[in-house]
Structure 1
Amino acid sequence: MRQKDDKTFAIALSNIAKDTMTLDDIDLLKSRIVSNENLEMMRDAIRIFRSNAEVDAYNTKVLASLNTEGTIANAYDFCVGDGLASTREKVSNNVKNLKTTETYGLPLKIDLKVGAKYMMTVNIDTEDGLVNGACGKLIMIDYGKLQKTNEAVPCRLWIKYNEEKTGRKTRANFQNVIRNRNIDLSLTPIEPVTRQINTRSTNFKVERKQFPVVPCEAITIYKSQGDTYEKVVVNLKKGMTRSELYVSCSRATKSSGLYLIDDFVPPKPPERNDAVAMMFKNMRSERMLKFSLEFPEESQEERFSIMFHNVQSLNKHISDIKSDKKFLSSSMISLVETWTKPSDNLEIEGFEIVHRRDCDDVRKPFGQIIYLKNDLKYENITERYEYSGKNHIEYSSIKIDDICIISVYNSPNSSFDILKRHINEAITISKGFCENTIVVGDFNINLKIKINNKFIEYMESFGLN
């Protein structure tokens, strides 16, 4: 609970959600109203707005007001493929007009100012806390020079994150640089990353190299969900819903850390389907927790279940799998990106290894293993992998009764044409042995992007759904 040290504030927030605000609750919230002039002293507070437009305007205003070292980080877009030069130019120009949400969180340009807050937009290292949404303050900028023009450009950012544990592993990896340059031990180095951007062109692909950050002096109410801050400034607007008011105000740990702009007006009674009000109503009325989903490990029914997972180092996570009821209750466990060598002991009690592909000498981000419950009969139908240049895809097909189960891993950089060729081959071969086919896999395709609907359409052409 965020407000564990401020019970009065916690009760007031709860009453906002339940539509039971008392006069004391209202007085408490009104006491947190401040003027814009007083807020100039609250530079370390996070601003919360309703709209993206308000957020962008405020971020631009703050960055312009900072009299500190600054620079612009321009993205580098590399268009690769064969075709007409005019088509290449058109593809490159189209990418420049895409929103950041369509470029895997990598902006076309970033206004960098020392002392400003920045938010991570890409999951760089989940175990290290360098994930989408991690916030911190930019303290220092390193520069390099372009070979062709000798122009100085930013090559590394040093950020002090709000949570000390964020970036701890990365800081350890840079300990020699930090020590030799006498850099603050709390600063985490962030370097540009490269992501392939989806385009409408089948001949050209665009790869963007950019820092995975955006300014975050302000964020939207939606983006703030789940976050916790010591100091929060909420811009109250007419029409603000009860849920929006509750979410934005409850980001603060104490009432003394909450600052409201404009007049506080208690929200109207919640609608019948108001999410927050319904949540509190259910909490009061339900005497016991009821799961809306049935967990496989708790089921007494006889069933065949498949657990597929991109494990990213089986040696590192095999103890987790051996202690996870969901995995152990499965009939089949299919894991990709195992990073294993032939000498690794990967046995799991109660299961038989029916397919395994390891790395040859150096552990790399590929490899596959399939476990099957000991009492199940099976037949290996086919397996294949391709690892050449940017294309990396591997699959296997196992027959159990009259069902062929195809497990696929496709790397983010593989072309769609290569993926189609292998999918077609795997399904065609499997249909020669089985009446029914199941395909599971990590295809590394963002289905939220409309152009990638072609993948769904292609799979449906085989009668899959």
Structure 2
Amino acid sequence: MSKPTVLLSAFTGTAAFNISGSTLHSLLKLPRSLKPPIQGLGNQLDEVRSELINTEILVIDEISMVSKPLFAYVDGRLKQIKGSHRPFGGVSVLAVGDFYQLLPVRHSKLLCVHDPAEIDLWQEHFQMVTLTQIMRQKDDLSFAEMLNRMRVKEKTDELSQADRELLSQRITELASCPTDILHIFATKKQVEKNNSVTLYLLHSNIVSIDADDFQKDPRTGRMARRDKPYAGGRSELADTLKVAEGARVMLTRNIDVSNGLVNGAFAKLVQVVTSDNDRITKLGLQMDQSRNKDRVVFIERAEENLKQRGVVCRQFPVKLAFACTVHKTQGLTTDAAVLSLTKIFEAGMAYVALSRVRTLGGLYLLDLDERKIFANPEITAALQSMRQASVDDMMPLSNLTETVSRPDILTLVHHNTEGLPAHIKNLKSHHELCLADVLCLTETHLQGSFVADSLHLEGYSMFKRNRHLSYSNFPDLSSRSGGGVAVYVRKTFVVSEKRYLHNVTDLEFIVLKVEAPFQALITAIYRPPDFGLKPFMDNLVSLLDSLETLDCHPVIVCGDFNENQLIRGRKPILDLFESKGYAQLITSATTDKHTLLDLVFISQPHRCLHAGVMRSYYSYHNPVYCLLSFSDL
């Protein structure tokens, strides 16, 4: 199975699960302590390298939660894994999130804000793209617009009268709020009080679950359970849990990120499992984010070493969650929530809390002190000074949609996929390849006559020629894996394949004659880098002569010719095409090493309105495209 080229990650388990990704710590095998110097991977290095060998892009979601020390560790670890001194080991990092949200835990500066005491990897290496489509509050735009104003509001700014009136409409008493929706507070003390009151208000079947603390018995040398747990000294586990079947709870540890059993995940406790001696052995949970809402997941006690020397604690990694702190809600979306702003103590907290609900009608506000709604001015200054990234060259066809959609335009794309089966998912999810009328692929690596259903593109007909059918006089080449060409053509086009051409015996190619909606001859070619120039040129001459006899224009020949057009000196392939009246349309580098190997030749260059290079994250080669006009027909 091919290794992924794009990795999805986040700092917290909750954020990682939301994007079907992994935590940074698990993905990169990071230690709990991030103090420099960066620790090596030891015997794990080869294993991690094999998993990340194809990684080109690392996506980090909820980037505001990532501290500068963690980011420095990510940089160092990727350098180790990739064996490169380039920033992040040469991996492109796509950091997604909103810096106006909460600060990283126990760290004072966000990544975008310069701190002379910390390694700064942000200012030099990152550019900003602003996303404009609102998702969470898309059905309540007036609420969304108000939140955007509060997002950047400074402490000295006053709310507009309109915003103040909107929020005032939602102020209510705690006793009037629904008890079955999430309550959000600023401090742990507020949360614990609300959780305790709500538990006794809603439930009578309350059970107490003491932690099992084990300590070595000096007489026997064995670990023995204490009669009572130690008080305090635990980071994630409770001395005593008070819960009830039907109560709202939250996990306090990452158990299984892929299945949503992550620190901060909300659930309903539906079953308390006991052993024959009435000891509680498991808790059955229905997770809020489970794809199967009725599924019950059973968790067991987790283990933690206490500060007291030699003491091991075993307790269920859950806590009550009728209410939670603002910090636990970052990344959460809910239909309704009760919110108190009275104890807000830092920038961004009020904005995060207010923006968890989808609509203003889902907000129950216990109080309103607009002085608590403020942003960190350092963030505003940092973002204003950041370089803005242009995405125009990343989406050339998307920027030409009016032209692409014209009925008189033929959109042709060529792409060396470096293996169609390995990259078909990448190809199908590419934001621009689906705009092509004709998609020519080289290095397809297909074998045999059978084509798996997964390799077909909806709305397209597929034509292919595998390498083993392409060579009559070079058995070493024909028996070698790799190579091959394929062409996808929209099913609205009328096309026929010209399979056998005079004296073309040793060439990886496909020729298609387009009959409607307009006429054209389209050829895709792949030349292996070690295929000698003379036999290739002999076959290419025969091919071009045969195309001429078909008397159909324009003729478009595209492919990977493995002749770099950006170096000085003689270029026999280019010279041959130009001698026959063709023009080559691509002028900039098409590979990661800044070579121009992927070419498009056309017999009637006046038809070309646009041509250029697209972007690919999964192949050494970038796709190339051309838009041809048939308005004279």
Q: TM-score if structure 2 supplies the norm length? A: 0.37
More strand by share: 1
Larger radius of gyration: 2
